[in-house]
Amino acid sequence: MTIERDALEDQFKAAMGQLATAVNIITTGQGKDRRGLTASAVCSLTVTPPMVLICVNLFGEAHRAMLEHGAFCVNVLNAEQRFLADIFAGRTDVAPAERFSHAQWRELPSGAPALDGALVNIDCRIAERVLTSTHSVFFGAVQAIRFGRQHAPLLHFDRHYFSLAAASIG
């Protein structure tokens, strides 16, 4: 059974890699309690009222901080911010305590860090949480939205980053 399950999990990872998604940094906390992670599991939920959902690993520092602060910000990255995606995904030598020092941040109404230069910052209060096996699904009630400069989005597909900058849209 384990071999079949492992094979199914490998196939599932490969299948999910075929979903092109925006790359986001989810942030929470304030001051020295700021935490963040790179995430692609972000989705609009409702327009009335405006809500989003995100999925966060139960075992990460950001998860605990989100529960403590009751808020988060979805920072949608542009193509020039790939280095930040790697930093917040833990793919660099940057220590977690130093992650926020590589960009400019400001606070929106929830207090969660909002990335300057992101395509958009979506500031949310946690309205609800659903537990799954390894993740929490957080439902965020949107408190504020801040649009950044127009730029090509950073996308993730087949375990690689891409940009629409060179692609033809239309």
The closest of 159, 169, 132 to 40, measured between CA atoms, is 159
Q: 109 vs 149, which has greater pLDDT?
A: 109
Give domain status of residue 44, yes or no: yes
CATH of the domain at 38: 2.30.110.10
Q: How many domains does the chain have?
A: 1
Residues in the chain: 170
Domain that holds residue 129: 23-159
Q: Does any domain span residue 127?
A: yes
Residue 167 forms part of a structural domain: no
Name the nearest CA neighbour of 82 among 147, 22, 19.
Answer: 22
Would 123 be classed as within a structural domain? Answer: yes
Give me the mean pLDDT over the 12-26 stretch. Answer: 78
| Cα end-to-end span (Å), the chain | 47
Output the CA angle 72-22-83, nearest 5 degrees: 80
Q: How far apart are CA 145 and CA 108, in angstroms?
A: 8
Instruction: Examine residue 168 and state whether it is found in any structural domain, yes or no.
Output: no
Helix-, strand-, coil-residue percentages of the chain, each rounded to 5: 25, 40, 30
Identify the pLDDT of residue 168. 44
Q: Nearest CA to 112 among 68, 50, 56, 148?
A: 68
Band of pLDDT at residue 169, cut at 50, 70 and 90? very low
For residues 31-36, average pLDDT:
92
> Is 14 within a domain?
no
Q: State the pTM of this model.
A: 0.89
